[in-house]
Structure formats: C-alpha cells, structure tokens
Amino acid sequence: MRKIFLGLMFATLLWAPCAYCGKIPDPLPLFMDPDFRFSQVDSICLPPALDVRADKTRPLYLTERGPSTDFAHIQPTDKSLNGYLISIGYPTVQCSPVSATASDLAAPSEAWMSTLDFGQSRWLFIFAVEDLHVAASWLGGEGSYAVVSGLLFEKRASGVKLVWRERAAGAPWDTMLGRKEKVLEAETAQSVDNSIVELLAKFEWRAKKRRQVAFAVDEQELPGSCEAAWSALKDFMNEHRKKYVVFSLDDSDRLALYARGIGGMPMSPMNEDHLALKPKGNACAMEVTQSFPLKRSDDWDDLAKQVRAALPRQ
C-alpha cells in the first residue's frame, strides 16, 4: 500500500507559497459575528475533538494514535489539529473535554454554552467529526470523505458567545492500494486530516509567511425565498452526481459541500466548494467559496443559472 500522507504536514508542504497575483479574497463564512475579528484572539482553549456522527461503526483516531500504515502510525486528530492551529499563528492551551451532540453544535443554546470550560483562555474552539464515508474494493479506495464542523466561542462578562462557525469536507489525497482494512484505516485518517485543512483554511492566516491557500468567492442573488432555491439546488445536484461529488446537503444551514467530479471522484480532494443560501431582504443570496491549492475549477454562473431557471416564476 502507498504510504499514507500523514495529513497536515504533507498537505501544508504541497500548498507552496501562493503564485496568484493580487489580493486573495477572504472566504465567505457560514457564520461570523459582525463584531468579531481574528486579531482579537490570543490563545485558544482546545478541548479533545468530538465524534458526533450518527453512525460510529468505523473507528476514528481522535485522541489516540491509530494503527500502523507503511512507515508510521496514524497520528491522532487532536495532535494534527493542535499543530495546524499553531502553524497558522494561534497558540493553544489544553482544557476540559466538551460534552455535545450534533444538535448542540448546529444551534448552541445559552444553557449548553454556559457549561463550556475555557480554562485559562478567553477563547474556545470545538472541532467535531459529523460524518465519515470510507469505502474500498480490490481496486483501492472509492470516494472516501469526512464532514466536520468548527465553532469558536468567546467568554465575556455577560456570558459565552458563539463568534464563528464553519463546516467543511475533506477527501484523501491518494487512491490507496493494498489490503482492504489498511486502505480503510488510511483513508479515514486522511479524510479527517484534510478536513482540518479545509476548515482552518477559513481562519485568518497569522503566520509570518504569505497565506498559502487561495480562495475564489462568488455571490449571486436569487429571486424569492431561500427555501425554494434550496429545493431547486438539491434537485439539480442530485440529478448531476457524475458532475458534482456531493459531500453534504444540510437542510438546517442550507449548506452544500461538494467538488467538481469525474466518474464519481473529486477532480482534486482539496478543491472543496462551499455554497450557502442566506436570506437577503426579499431575495436569497447564494454565497460560494472555493478553496484550491492547485487550480480553480468552477461553474458557479451555470449552477446559479440552472437553479434560477428551476424556481417558480415570480
């Protein structure tokens, strides 16, 4: 079996200093408090990663290292997450574990937020694995991916406040070959590790080096309600599964995580498209962010055109 690229270190090396000219646009976050700035953050309290999957059959390697692959053991997610936060300029401190369900993270209540322990920090970041799909045959891995969420909280005199929330998907870099169980173990680790890169790429880059992740963003206004636009978007993507590799279509956030595909596989595992529908007056804004280390590949104008054509006539 090919050696697993032990996640974040290799991915960061592959993201060579950005060769794109001009200012790289900031990503469009799923949620960010209007008064929040990443410059306000000093140290971040980082509790152990959470597993909030509905199906926990496939083991994760969150706090303990996983089985050995070709040349090394699979590193725990907590170690990868901590290392990446530090590498982009955010010192971390350990704090108590967090107890949470998927619904707590989707809509944090004041009662639940009041239970969070910030340790010696004013800021707390929660990372959770929401979904994992890994599959393999005698030909190797088959369309594996992980869907994760990240939430940043601030401790204030008046109480705890959610200031940033984001979701992302990650897929393996390689088509792995070898014994099926070894392939599944390696693809699990790579999917989760690369989802960390996708998620934290949307933090403000505070390292001394120039930001190494390029973004392309787009916003288009659709007539009518976001409910109708979301229904049309889901129908279109479900009808074109060979063109779009869909990681998640989430009704609560009206968020689509997907990639352009060839034969059911993403063109590049790091070219994740992040599309959210948000009410804007009497219309609906379609906000899209694509993160890409190698090549921009989008057809957002066509996608918006297809969704717009499917909407009820005003």
- Of 176, 200, 224, the residue that ends a domain is 200
Instruction: Give the count of beta carbons closer than 10 Å to the beta carbon of residue 103.
Output: 12
Distance CA(77)–CA(50), nearest Å, equals 10
Alpha-carbon dihedral 17, 19, 23, 29, rounded to 10 degrees: -60
Share of the chain above pLDDT 70, in %: 78
Report, as an integer, the average pLDDT of 241-262.
87
Is 85 domain-assigned?
A: yes
Question: What is the predicted pLDDT for the residue at 138?
Answer: 59
Q: Which helix (H) or strand (E) element contains residue 284?
A: strand 283-292
Residue 16 has a pLDDT of: 41
pLDDT in tens, 260-274: 765 555 555 556 789
Domain of residue 300 covers 214-310
Q: What is the mean pLDDT of residues 290-310?
A: 76
Same domain, residue pair 32 and 116 = yes
Judge if 196 and 225 occupy the same domain: no
Among 42-46, 84-88, 98-102, 239-243, which is the least confidently predicted range? 239-243
Judge contact between 50 and 151, C-beta under 8 A: no
What's the pLDDT at 294? Answer: 61
Determine the pLDDT at residue 11: 44
Kindly state whether residue 207 falls inside one of the protein's structural domains: no
Q: Please check whether residues 65 and 156 belong to one and the same domain.
A: yes
In a domain, 209, yes or no: no
Q: Decide if pLDDT at 9 tops 60.
A: no
| Same domain, yes or no: 19 and 63 | yes
Residue 117 falls within a domain, yes or no?
Answer: yes
> What CATH number did the domain enclosing 104 receive?
3.40.50
- In this structure, the answer to whether residues 102 and 231 fall within a common structural domain is no
pLDDT of residue 242: 78
Domain presence at residue 205: no
Q: What is the CATH number of the domain that holds 236?
A: 3.30.530.20
- Largest distance between two CA atoms of the chain: 61
Q: 82-137: per-residue pLDDT in tens?
A: 999 999 999 999 899 999 999 999 999 999 999 999 999 999 999 999 999 988 76
> What pLDDT was estimated at residue 63?
87
Q: Are residues 124 and 33 in the same domain?
A: yes
Q: Which of 75-84, 157-166, 295-304 is least confident?
A: 295-304
Last residue in a domain, options 171, 200, 229? 200
With a pLDDT cut of 90, the percent of the chain lying above it is 52
Residue 87 lies in a domain: yes
88 and 19 in a single domain? The answer is yes
Name which of 259, 308, 257 is nearest 284 in CA terms.
Answer: 308
What's the total number of domains in the chain? 2
- Say whether pLDDT at 21 is over 60: no
**CB within 8 Å of 183: residues ≥ 6 apart:** 1, 136, 140, 141, 176, 177
- Can you tell me which residue has the tokens 């897929």? 171
What does the pLDDT look like over 185-222, one tens digit per residue?
888 888 899 899 899 989 998 876 555 668 889 999 99
Residues 111 and 252 occupy one common structural domain: no
User: What pLDDT is stored for residue 161 in this prediction?
Assistant: 97
Say yes or no: 117 and 224 in one domain: no
Same domain, 100 and 132: yes
Comparing C-alpha atoms, which of 192, 167, 178, 153 is closest to residue 291? 167
**Residue 161 in domain:** yes
pLDDT in tens, 150-168: 999 999 999 999 999 999 9
Within a domain: 194: yes
Who wins on pLDDT, 213 or 10? 213
DSSP string, 159-215: EEEEEEEEEEEE--SS---S-HHHHHHHHHHHHHHHHHHHHHTTSPP-SSSPP--EE
Return the pLDDT at 10. Answer: 39
pLDDT at 137: 65
More confident residue, 65 or 284: 284
Regarding whether 250 and 106 lie in a shared domain, the answer is no
End-of-domain residue from the set 173, 200, 227: 200
Residues 123 and 166 in one domain: yes
